[in-house]
Structures are given as structure tokens and as C-alpha cells.
Amino acid sequence: MTSIKQQFPGLTIDGIYEPSQALLDECTHQFDSRTLRYVEPAKCNSRELEISVGKSDKKLRIESSTLAIRETKHTPDEDVSTAYKLLNCLKRRAIAYEFAGLISYGAHERYTDKLLRRLNSEPPPNYQQTSIMQILKADREVWVYMTQTVQDIRPSADGTRPLDKALHDALSDYNVTFHMLPLPMASSNAYAPLRSREDHSNREQNFVQFWLQRTRFQQKRKGQSQGHSPGLKLCAKRYQRRSGKRCKGQAYLLQLQLVRVQEAAAGASCKKGKHVCFKANSLKPHACSSAHAEEMPKQTA
């Protein structure tokens, strides 16, 4: 630790910046066993917290047919809810890996700077900024990438540390960058929302209104093509309540009531219904449009 302080004169390694002994033991154990394991930032405690808050736990164990009492210390996890607290945890981890000789302090600091820079980047419209939870997930994926790509984690004969290059290359891996992408807002229309039953009923109602408008438009176009003014085939409002009556099981033909047709004579029947007048229960064999012309509503073009 004295050598690290001499190598980095401007680095403060005391108080909250001094890594705990458990963190130093973990990193040196990885060097001895040649096995890289992920040390999450919440486990990067300070020596100050380890002394003041750490709890001792004594357990009875049997080792080599001998009964012994082993004492273990448990330190609560660090709070990483803010960028400042997360930065302190990552700085302690950088010092611990420099202490073990696996990752240089400068390479880890450059990695931390690129990682936390995503917290201040401006997101696209309708997207939210990258959260600390996303940074923690990306940090875990970086260690998974280094475990899969680096065969020997120890420095080479010339002093080159392979984990320094792998730490930089991991930021370009898709599994890492995927977690750092901005997520869409809850009220954004970037993705199609789930439709509820109310939305489904509104869609059906809108479809019915559209179909009725389309049918009226087609009837209007058909009436114009036959040489009649628009609206002749629609029953007048004062006669609408009579349009549903039946005469001896046969429907009244509204075309005879408003416009004379040629399918059958007055009083006769065709496939559409009986040709009778429907005014005031008249049911006489004549067209309402001709017999009661003075009472018919005026047609608009």
C-alpha cells in the first residue's frame, strides 16, 4: 500500500477511500487462484466502515477431526443509490485491484469515467436518462466478458496486464452496451401500449360509426347514379316510425313510398315487399310520393 501511495502522489488512500481488508483479501485471492470473480460495488467497503460497523460472528466448525471455533466478520453492503457513492465504491475497487497487481489503477479509472459518463448524457426525445441500476448491470457484464475472453489474468513477463485491455474492449461488447441504452418513458408512444377492454370497445364503436358513414355515402352515390337526388331512398323523419310495419307478413317497400319503381305495379308484391302507401295506416295501392305530394318533405340536392 505504501508503494501505491508513492506511485500515485495525488491519490488519497485514507478514510472512506481506503479499501477494507476483506476487499484486499478477495482481490489477492483472485491473483493466487488465477480465477477472476466479479466484485460488485456494494461489496467494496471502506476500512473505516469495516472497523466501526463490522460484526463478528463466531461459529463452531469441525476441521480435520478437530473441533474449532472460527470467527468471521460481516460488513453491511455499501449504499450505491447515488453517483457519488457509486464512484467511491469503484475507486476502492480500483485500489484493491492495483494492490493485487491484476488491473492498473489508471485503466480502472478510465473505465469508471466512461461508465459513469452515461449518467449525464442527454437521452433522445421520449426517453429517460440511463439509471444507476443500468450501470450496475453493465458493470457485471464487463466482468463476465473478461472471464470469457482472458485465459490468464496474471501479468505477463514484460509487465503487461491482460485485464487492462479486456476492461477497455468490454465497453464495446453488445451485452454491455445494451444495458446502458436509454429506456423509453412510461408515457411515451415509442412502443405500442397494451390495449384494455375499454380501448377495445372504443375501437368497435369507431368502426361501427365508420361503417354507417360509408354505407350512407354509398347509398348517396347510388342514388345519384340512377338520376335521383340524394336522400330519396331514405324515409322522411315524419314517416320513419311506419317503416318497420308489416302487412300480412310482407315488408313495406320504401322505394314505392318515396320513388316509384318498376319491379311491380302498385298494390302488387315483389321480392322486396308489397307496394302500398304507408301514410296514416292507409295501405292503399298507390305511391306516397304522388298521392300525397303536398305533404312530402322537400328534397335537398
Please give the pLDDT value at position 185: 85
Q: Cell 348517396 identifies what position?
A: 220
CB 59 within 8 A of CB 72: yes
Please tell me the number of Cα atoms within 13 Å of 273 on its side-chain side: 22
Please give the pLDDT value at position 11: 84
Q: How far apart are CA 246 and CA 268, in angstroms?
A: 14
Please give the pLDDT value at position 78: 87
pLDDT tens series, the chain, 301 aa: 888 888 888 888 888 889 999 999 999 999 999 999 999 999 999 888 888 875 656 666 676 667 776 666 677 888 899 999 999 999 999 999 999 999 999 999 999 999 999 888 888 888 888 999 999 999 999 999 999 999 899 999 888 999 999 999 999 999 999 999 888 887 645 445 555 555 556 666 666 677 777 777 676 666 555 554 443 344 444 444 444 444 444 444 544 444 445 566 666 777 666 667 766 556 677 776 677 777 665 555 4
Q: How far apart are CA 26 and CA 181, in angstroms?
A: 31
Query: Which of 192, 185, 89, 189 has its CA nearest to residue 131?
Result: 185
User: Which 3 state secondary structure label does DSSP give 184?
Assistant: strand
Please give the pLDDT value at position 41: 93
Query: Which of 82, 200, 81, 182 has its CA nearest to residue 126?
Result: 182
Please give the pLDDT value at position 76: 81
Q: Which amino acid is at 244?
A: G
Query: Which of 179, 174, 19, 32 has its CA nearest to residue 92?
Result: 19
Burial class of residue 80, CB neighbours in 10 A (0-12, 13-18, 19+): buried
Q: What is the CA radius of gyration of the chain?
A: 43
Question: What is the sign, positive or negative, of the torsion defined by CA atoms of 40, 41, 43, 46?
Answer: positive
